[in-house]
Amino acid sequence: MIRQWINKIRKATLKRGFVCDCCNGELFDYPQTRICIECEEKLLYNDRHTCSACGRTSVTEGVCLICKQRPPAFIGVSPYVYIGETASVIVRIKNGNRRLSCALAERMVEKLMKQCAISSCDIVVLPIPMSERKQAIRGYNQALDLAEVVEERLQQAGYRVVLHTDVLIKRRETPQQKHLTLRERSANLQGVFHLAKRAILKDKTVLLVDDIMTTGATGDVCATLCKNAGAKEVYFLCAAAAPEKQPTLVR
């Protein structure tokens, strides 16, 4: 109920105008075009080789090396590659650019529809949560901003979709993850996330929504929780995913 009120207020303040959703530059054919050519050119679309498991841009066709070592508990979908200038655009949603969140969420849904045949019409949308403390400091959770638009667009497409913010809970801060392998990260995340209402997920299609997928450890831990609670299938829908190989990070 409170969330519905907040949404009404937010929608009233989230006016889209004749400016680019990303950089605020002038755009004459808005809303047909929502992101200007200059910003669009910076965005690297994830439409080359895509890993059939995690959904990231892979070096060759099929399953990426990361998933070969450890198949994720989710099916990954991301419209953009988290690299270079694309990354610099995507991080703006972390800084509270809600119009950009809206534009990216629409592309996440387009990619989901294109890439996946969702077998169930009953979908539960779960944004990847922040800890209460962190969300209180930031004032918003960008994963929730994306998830709300995803929910709305899927409803418009005829799906029965319900978004829950009180099902997947983050109980404590993510411990330091740098320099850890995927396996170590997953172990490191044990107990960080918790399902408060497991029965809601029984036989449902679950859509976990987040802004960025790097190793996929967070998605994997949350998807495993959902599967253990009886979810039929779990998708991990992100705005952007780090590619299998990141040349800029290779030293």
Tell me how far apart the alpha carbons of residues 16 and 177 are, in angstroms, rounded to a whole number.
37
Q: How far is the CB of 243 from Zn ion (least distance, A)?
A: 10
20 binds Zn ion (CB under 5 A): yes
241 binds Zn ion (CB under 5 A): no
76: buried, middle or exposed (CB in 10 Å: 19+, 13-18, 0-12)? buried
Closest CA to 195 of 170, 162, 231: 170
36 binds Zn ion (CB under 5 A): yes
Q: How far is the CB of 109 from Zn ion (least distance, A)?
A: 21
CA dihedral 172, 177, 180, 181 (to 10 degrees): 70
Q: How far is the CB of 173 from Zn ion (least distance, A)?
A: 27
**CA-CA-CA-CA torsion sign (132, 191, 93, 179):** positive
116 binds Zn ion (CB under 5 A): no
Distances (CA, A) of 148 to 50, 60, 102, 143, 164: 26, 34, 9, 9, 10
Residues 65-94 that bind Zn ion (CB under 5 A): 67
Residues 38-67 that bind Zn ion (CB under 5 A): 39, 51, 53-54, 64, 67
150 binds Zn ion (CB under 5 A): no
213 binds Zn ion (CB under 5 A): no
19 binds Zn ion (CB under 5 A): no
Segment lying near Zn ion (by CB under 5 A), choices 8-16, 30-38, 118-126, 220-228: 30-38
Q: Residue length, the chain?
A: 251
Q: How far is the CB of 120 from Zn ion (least distance, A)?
A: 23
Closest CA to 240 of 88, 80, 35: 80
Q: Smaller CB distance to Zn ion: residue 70 or 94?
A: 70
Query: What does the binding site for Zn ion look like in residue numbers (CB under 5 A)?
Result: 20, 22-23, 25, 36, 39, 51, 53-54, 64, 67
